[in-house]
């Protein structure tokens, strides 16, 4: 039984951490950090937890918290952890950061896309990018700091990764058109996120400028072995949860000019994901749907080859709050502490 603290426990990702960890057999939550609701009962802020969580919200006293717990999850705005993390804290406890502060290795790119001066760039190198299906070994060995991947990025990367890694698609042609439920926008009170503004509406946003772009590019660049530049367009969908990524790329033709076959592509996906519990490559002909993974840590993936254009259309679906945030953070924790990777995460998707 380890002790856990959550900073940002009353945001949507933080609340999802509470939901998952409250049923995790190896964990006890000791600290529900929330600047906005200090001293209020957690269950009065998230009433789904009524009679499940009895604690009150606490302020973000990171020093005190670090002394008390074995791991701290930070579900906080960009720049928060980067601004306070240091050797002393890291010597006391482990950190799993759900923000972007330690995800991007090139601090210039981070500062350019996030418009934030990084306060602890010296720690970036140590941070392990916690995309378990790709970096499991490093995560398992990580002793102090995990950079938990973004929601769009987890979906976008896992969907294309095997084909990039094996050189089956041309990364320069990659276009990711992603659609997200509204919980991705957080619980801040803003007019564009009001029910009446989102319901019965569909829009793109952050076109050619969304911050998850360089994160996808960096990780796919490692897979490709060279710099990758892509188009990434997020869209807001009138639903609570779920991300669907529709990805387009030109297939690399064989020497004889022919395209890779359905079977060949499928074999590559199998190679990477056959033993991955949380990645489900669907049978031919079935398109991933966000509802089929809702509430779970699964990513559903499939693809269609378009012979006419020589492109492949890859599709991935996940729950942005689970595999795209809190579930993946718990998966990282499980690996770091040597627990069963699935502990607390055998959540069956809820339908309808």
- What amino acid positions are annotated as catalytic residues? 151
Residues 231-250 that bind a second copy (CB under 8 A): 231, 233, 235, 237-242, 244, 246, 248
Query: Considering the rule CB under 8 A, would residue 166 count as an interface residue with a second copy?
Result: no
Residue with tokens 């987890």: 154
Task: Indicate the pairing of strand 2-7 with strand 71-74.
Answer: parallel
Minimal distance in Å, beta carbon 250 to a second copy?
A: 9
Query: Considering the rule CB under 8 A, would residue 86 count as an interface residue with a second copy?
Result: no
Query: Considering the rule CB under 8 A, would residue 201 count as an interface residue with a second copy?
Result: yes
Report CA 109 to chain centroid distance, whole Å: 19
* Residue of the chain from 112, 137, 199, 226 that contacts a second copy (CB under 8 A): 199
Minimal distance in Å, beta carbon 67 to a second copy?
A: 29
Minimal distance in Å, beta carbon 40 to a second copy?
A: 12
> What mask of x and - would describe binding to a second copy in positions 272 to 311, judged by CB under 8 A?
--------x-xx--xxxxxxxxxxx---x---xxx-xx-x
Cα 37 to Cα 87: distance, rounded to the nearest angstrom? 29
Minimal distance in Å, beta carbon 291 to a second copy?
A: 4
Distances (CA, A) of 168 to 171, 173, 274, 312: 9, 12, 18, 10
Residue 222 vs 277, nearer CB to a second copy:
277
**Exposure class string for 40-55: b at 16+ Cβ within 10 A, else e:** ebbbebbeebeeebee
Alpha helices in 9-61 (DSSP H): 12-21, 42-45
Cα 180 to Cα 38: distance, rounded to the nearest angstrom? 30
230 and 173 Cβ atoms separated by less than 8 Å: no
* Residue of the chain from 183, 219, 297, 328 that contacts a second copy (CB under 8 A): 183
Query: Considering the rule CB under 8 A, would residue 255 count as an interface residue with a second copy?
Result: no
Cα 257 to Cα 253: distance, rounded to the nearest angstrom? 5
Query: Considering the rule CB under 8 A, would residue 98 count as an interface residue with a second copy?
Result: no
Residue 116 vs 305, nearer CB to a second copy:
305
Size of the site for a second copy (CB under 8 A): 82
Residue with tokens 């804290």: 89
Query: Considering the rule CB under 8 A, would residue 228 count as an interface residue with a second copy?
Result: no
Residue 62 vs 157, nearer CB to a second copy:
157
101 and 79 Cβ atoms separated by less than 8 Å: yes
Residue 119 vs 193, nearer CB to a second copy:
193
Task: Indicate the pairing of strand 311-318 with strand 299-306.
Answer: antiparallel
Q: What is the total residue count of the chain? A: 352
Query: Considering the rule CB under 8 A, would residue 94 count as an interface residue with a second copy?
Result: no
C-beta pairs of 49-56 under 8 Å, 24+ apart in sequence: 49/18, 49/19, 49/22, 52/22, 53/18, 53/22, 53/29, 55/29, 56/32
Query: Considering the rule CB under 8 A, would residue 254 count as an interface residue with a second copy?
Result: no
Query: Considering the rule CB under 8 A, would residue 104 count as an interface residue with a second copy?
Result: no
Residue 290 vs 334, nearer CB to a second copy:
290
* Span from 76-84, 150-158, 185-193, 260-268 in contact with a second copy (CB under 8 A): 185-193
* Residue of the chain from 7, 13, 15, 325 that contacts a second copy (CB under 8 A): 15
Query: Considering the rule CB under 8 A, would residue 197 count as an interface residue with a second copy?
Result: yes
* Residue of the chain from 1, 25, 39, 51 that contacts a second copy (CB under 8 A): 51
* Span from 62-70, 154-162, 163-171, 193-201 in contact with a second copy (CB under 8 A): 193-201
Query: Considering the rule CB under 8 A, would residue 351 count as an interface residue with a second copy?
Result: yes
Cα 166 to Cα 222: distance, rounded to the nearest angstrom? 12
Cα 33 to Cα 18: distance, rounded to the nearest angstrom? 11
């Amino acid at each position: 039984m380890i002790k856990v603290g959550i900073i940002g426990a009353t945001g949507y990702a933080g609340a999802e951490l509470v939901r998952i960890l409250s049923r995790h057999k190896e964990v006890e939550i000791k600290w529900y950090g929330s600047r906005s609701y200090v001293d209020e009962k957690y269950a009065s802020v998230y009433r789904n937890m009524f009679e499940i969580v009895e604690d009150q919200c606490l302020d973000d006293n990171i020093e005190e918290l670090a002394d008390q717990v074995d791991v701290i999850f930070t579900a906080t705005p960009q720049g928060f952890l980067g601004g306070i993390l240091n050797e002393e804290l890291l010597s006391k406890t482990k950190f799993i950061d759900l923000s972007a502060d330690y995800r991007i290795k090139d601090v210039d790119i981070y500062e350019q896309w996030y418009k934030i001066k990084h306060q602890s760039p010296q720690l970036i190198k140590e941070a392990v990018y916690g995309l378990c299906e790709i970096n499991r070994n490093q995560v398992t060995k990580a002793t102090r700091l995990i950079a938990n991947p973004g929601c769009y990025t987890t979906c976008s990367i896992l969907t294309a990764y095997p084909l990039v890694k094996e050189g089956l698609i041309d990364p320069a042609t990659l276009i990711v058109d992603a659609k997200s439920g509204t919980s991705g926008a957080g619980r801040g009170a803003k007019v564009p996120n009001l029910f009446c503004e989102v319901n019965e509406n569909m829009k793109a946003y952050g076109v050619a400028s969304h911050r998850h772009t360089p994160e996808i590019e960096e990780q796919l660049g490692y897979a490709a072995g060279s710099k990758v530049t892509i188009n990434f367009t997020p869209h807001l969908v009138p639903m609570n949860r779920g991300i669907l990524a529709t990805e387009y790329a030109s297939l690399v033709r064989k020497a004889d000019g022919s395209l890779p076959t359905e079977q060949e592509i499928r074999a590559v996906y199998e190679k990477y994901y056959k033993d991955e519990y949380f990645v489900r490559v669907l049978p031919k002909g079935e398109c991933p749907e966000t509802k089929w993974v809702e509430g779970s840590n699964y990513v559903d993936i499939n693809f269609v080859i378009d012979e006419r254009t020589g492109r492949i259309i890859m599709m991935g679906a996940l729950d942005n709050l689970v595999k795209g945030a809190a579930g993946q953070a718990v998966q990282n924790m499980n690996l770091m502490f040597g627990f069963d990777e699935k502990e607390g995460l055998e959540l069956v998707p809820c339908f309808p």
